[in-house]
Amino acid sequence: AAAFLMSNFQANLRALFQYEPSDLAKVVSQLNKRVMDNAKGEKYITLFAAVYNRRDQSLQYINCGHNPPLLMSADGKARQLELGCCGLGMFRDIPSIESGSETIAPGATLLCYTDGLVEQENADDVPFGMQRMEEVVRERRGMSVQAVQDALMNAVIEFKGEEPSFDDTALMVVRFK
């Protein structure tokens, strides 16, 4: 059921962005209605949606209940992209949607991830956490996206040691030029 919901969601996402790419709030509202229609209120989806404009180097985003992505500038200053709304499919109509906007300077890195990365615990039941994630990214800024991604995954594996992974982990690293 979850795979079917996600497959349907991805098709709707592609179709809506094809026709409404600049109106994120409208896309999110329409996606919410489609998730609600398909899942009947029994499941919900978290999502980070963003549109980047290369001409003016602006990023418009809405975080729909997902782990807040990390945006790190070339000089190592970091912030989380938290503005948005609840997860999709939680309510028939989303109570409020707050769009975020960031100006992206060259060399900035955007890190999107699932909770399996930051919530992974070690033998002492300590989670990997946002601070460790941020440190790994900061130490490797300027390196290739692949190097950042590999270093982060290796850091989580080393941190957890023999502890089992209790959740899946997805990671996307983007570098702006």
Angstrom distances, CA of residue 174 to CA of 15, 87, 144: 23, 23, 10
**Alpha carbon 18 to chain centroid, angstroms:** 20
- Given this model, what pLDDT does residue 9 score? 75
| Residue indicated by tokens 């919530």 | 119
Is the pLDDT score of 155 beyond 90?
A: yes
Residue 105 Cα to chain centre, angstroms: 20
Mean pLDDT of the chain: 91
For residues 6-18, give the mean pLDDT.
76
Predicted model pTM: 0.88
- Amino acid 5: pLDDT: 75
Q: What is the pLDDT of residue 57?
A: 96
Residue 60 has pLDDT above 70, yes or no: yes
User: Mean pLDDT over residues 7-20, rounded?
Assistant: 74
Give me the residues paired with residue 35 across strands: none
**Strand-pair category, 70-72 with 47-53:** unpaired
Q: In which band, very low, low, confident or very high, does the pLDDT at 62 lie, cut at 50, 70 and 90?
A: very high
Query: Each residue of 87-140: pLDDT tens digit?
Result: 999 999 999 999 999 999 999 999 999 999 999 999 999 999 999 999 999 999
Total length of the chain: 177
